[in-house]
A and B are shown apart, each in its own frame.
Chain A
Amino acid sequence: MKNPLESLSSTVVLGLIITVVVVLLVNMTGSDAGSLPSGMPSMPG
């Protein structure tokens, strides 16, 4: 079986799949998940 990373388009598709998996994992673990920890502003001021 050919390595999917040999193909650029397969590489991009795999990257998008991993993105979807990460989004699902983060959302499955809690309503506050994924945002910056509370207590510190993300931007100064």
Chain B
Amino acid sequence: MEDYLPFLFRYLHVLSGVMWIGLLWYFNFVQIPTMPKIPDELKPAIGKHIAPEALFWFRWGAMGTVITGLVLAMLNGYLHETMTIGIGSGYGLNGLGIGMWFGIIMWFNVWFVIWPNQKIALGIVEAEADAKPAAARKAMLFSRTNTMLSIPMLYCMVSGQNGGAWF
């Protein structure tokens, strides 16, 4: 069982990570660029139905990814070294740790910036009408930030399992 737990948490980490990053890239590569092309009368199909559903799986995918990732690091005995990114270890900077911190920053953005602003932008919570465009823009910029960070994050994650990625 002890040998199986790290594998189980790695599997759960990848499952939730695919859910999270898949939806992040859907928002940024598909939904945001397509919205301007949609006739106004059809936009509620996205705003009222698709986006809220996608945001639910998106934010809980993020939560699952971070929790299972931290548990995995703890089970494998490198939680401290990765969270300190190797500073003071004598082995230099820890690439996997840098990637983990990118992921934690991305998780924070999801739960404390993107989701609160999307609730305003989509009318899920009450807000002044003129607050919605600003909230939508803020959510978009932070979602773009996460897209940007997902690229080095995934490199660092894969490099943790492939020592040759660091030359």
List chain A positions with a Cβ less than 8 A from chain B. Answer: 3, 5-6, 8, 11-12, 14-16, 18-19, 22-23, 25-27, 29-37, 39-45
List chain B positions with a Cβ less than 8 A from chain A. Answer: 3-4, 6-7, 28-29, 32-33, 76-78, 81, 86, 89, 91-96, 98, 141, 144-145, 147-152, 155-156, 159-161, 163, 165-167
Shortest Cβ gap from B97 to chain A (Å): 9
Looking at the complex, which one of A3, A34, A40 makes contact with B166 (CB distance below 8 Å)?
A: A34
| Least CB separation from A45: chain B residue | B3
* Known A-B contacts A8-B144, A15-B152, A40-B78; A34 and B6 likewise in contact (beta carbons under 8 Å): no
Is A19 a contact partner of B155 (Cβ separation < 8 A)? yes
